[in-house]
Structure 1
Amino acid sequence: MKKYIFLLSVILAFIGCEKEMMDYEGKDGIYFCVQEVPPSQYGNPEIWAHIDTTLLPFSLLLVNDTTVRLKVRVMGPVTGYDRYFTLAVIDSLTTATVGEDYSPLEKQYVISAGERDGYVEFIGFRQEKMLDSTYYVTLQLMENEYFSLPMDIWRPLELKDYTRENQNVIRHVVGLTDEVFEPKAWTTNYFGPYSKKKMKLLCEMFGLQMADFDNVTEMDMERQRVYAQGLDKYLKEMDAKGETVYEDRVDKDGNPVKMAVGPLV
């Protein structure tokens, strides 16, 4: 019996130590807690992958200005009063121009009473120069009277989240671009090789926006197939009339490339 009492005491002591080790001590801290929403948009947001770069692709958004909310999280307990945090732009790691490519930062941002998260609303502006290049803004959290910066790296937690590599959580980079990027809901077997011209044609034909092709829930495989069939019919009709539709590029021999859909249509 004494043996079992001793073992129980050891287990209870271990549990007590483990609980004590998990408590956060010291001055409250903050870090960027920006996560990547999976294409399905399902699942527990707490285990979505952490990212240290957010891209604003105006070619998909089809707007001249847009706002992205960057989450900042507290390390430590919530409080019954508002607390504030501040940011700085790292000029040496920034190529975008304040007031032209993005809106100036606020002097301070709030973590409201009873909350553990606050948000930085970053406003980016579409510019013609972004058609050919991506412009970056590097933001960095700053220590103040309320918060320290006790953690600078988020390391992937095996079987706990989907983060693929170490992420900087003191800094966050925002990229602004109007370059063409293939959206998530683009199946090559249906639509064929991606091109901005083909995307615009699909949008004009079916009253869509480029952003619709970045939502795999709405733009499922069946809907993609139907749109691809409609595009295929149109291309064949134009070809029969002698008005063949070509891509805005040529092949290796210098010949114009005929627009086509994928092999499963």
Structure 2
Amino acid sequence: MKKIILYILLFLTASCQRSEIPLYSGTAGIYFEVYNEPTAGVYVRVDTSVLTFAYHPEKTDSIFALSIRVKGDTVPKDRQFSIKVIDTSANAAKAGIHYEAFPTTAIVPAGKASVLLPVKFLKHRDMQVKTFALCIQLLENENFKTDLPQLYVPDTKKYISATVHTILVDDALARPKYWLDGYLGPYSRKKYVLLCQLLDIPVATLNNTISVGTVKYYGNFMKNYLADEAAAGRIVYEEDGSVMKMGDGL
């Protein structure tokens, strides 16, 4: 009986030693790890992200940091990885116009399992009427494989690309949820931006819950401003050449 117990202990010891062997060997893999926050505090992995300049009219550029992760063990040396831009779509963003061109290689630092790839987007007038797409693909090289082409996302019950990430960029300021024509008049981008600048409020204000009384105050403020400008010989016009007006309910 003692011999049987001894054999069992020897077997368990050997099993524990074997479990210390790394589960992953060979060339490491590389993939995108980007999350969106559709609801406060809830993060969902995505292969498409959205960047808009609409709520920050003062900005002329914006940096989007793409998270890239390594599959496999870390190593004590820098490792270069390769990327390329897929620009075959009709709405493909153009380097030098919609974003700053970036190198086709980057580095995963020694001892690290992830890295951020910063992409600098440039605001351009045509973004007000069109959404542009920047598609970035990870490529295999001597350091990394791209053998994880897709990932399953339980939250959405869908598969997403792990090696291609698309960033949609625009400057389209849509009519906000709480824009009331009776006080603010017909919606226009120019009027909305001017209102926010004069009142020093965030552009997202009228998309958040707001009282009717506050919207009426905004309307009266703008009405007085437009009247003062007109009296000084500086009539404010809309983009289409018509005189900017507020609502009839004031």
Give the TM-score, by structure 2 length: 0.68
| CA shift in 2, pair 1:207/1:177, >3 Å | same
Report how far residue 163 of structure 1 moved.
Answer: 4.3
Asked if 1:54 is matched to 2:32, the reply is no
Residue of structure 2 equivalent to 1:87: 83
| CA shift in 2, pair 1:119/1:180, >3 Å | same
Q: Alpha-carbon deviations, 1:96-123, whole Å to 9, x = none?
A: 2212221112232121122211111111
Paired residue total = 212
Check conservation: 2:195, 2:222, Cα contact below 8 A.
no
Q: Which amino acid aligns with 1:134?
A: T
Report how far residue 237 of structure 1 moved.
Answer: 7.6
Check conservation: 1:235, 1:259, Cα contact below 8 A.
no
Check conservation: 1:109, 1:118, Cα contact below 8 A.
no
5 Å-filtered alignment, 1:198-217, equals: 199-200=192-193, 202-210=195-203, 213=205
More strand by share: 2
Q: Secondary structure at the match of 2:196?
A: helix
Q: Alpha-carbon deviations, 1:64-119, whole Å to 9, x = none?
A: 11110000011111222221211111132362221222111223212112221111
Asked if 1:28 is matched to 2:14, the reply is no
5 Å-filtered alignment, 1:1-265, equals: 23-40=23-40, 42=41, 48-62=43-57, 63-93=59-89, 95-157=92-154, 162-163=155-156, 165-181=158-174, 188=177, 196=189, 199-200=192-193, 202-210=195-203, 213=205, 224-225=209-210, 229-235=213-219, 258=247
Check conservation: 2:223, 2:246, Cα contact below 8 A.
no
Check conservation: 1:86, 1:141, Cα contact below 8 A.
yes
Q: Alpha-carbon deviations, 1:146-173, whole Å to 9, x = none?
A: 100011111113xxxx345221111111
Report how far residue 236 of structure 1 moved.
Answer: 5.8
Q: Secondary structure at the match of 2:219?
A: helix
Q: Distance in 1 between matches of 2:64 and 2:221?
A: 42
Report how far residue 239 of structure 1 moved.
Answer: 7.8
| CA shift in 2, pair 1:33/1:195, >3 Å | farther
| CA shift in 2, pair 1:238/1:73, >3 Å | closer
Q: Distance in 2 between matches of 1:259 and 1:106?
A: 55
Residue of structure 1 equivalent to 2:184: none
Report how far residue 197 of structure 1 moved.
Answer: 5.6
Q: Which amino acid aligns with 2:210?
A: R
Sequence identity (%):
25
Q: What are structure 2's unaligned runs of at least 5 residues? A: 6-11, 182-186, 228-237, 239-244
Give the TM-score, by structure 1 length: 0.65
Q: What are structure 1's unaligned runs of at least 5 residues? A: 6-11, 249-255, 261-265
Check conservation: 2:47, 2:160, Cα contact below 8 A.
yes
Query: Pairwise CA RMSD of aligned residues?
Result: 3.9
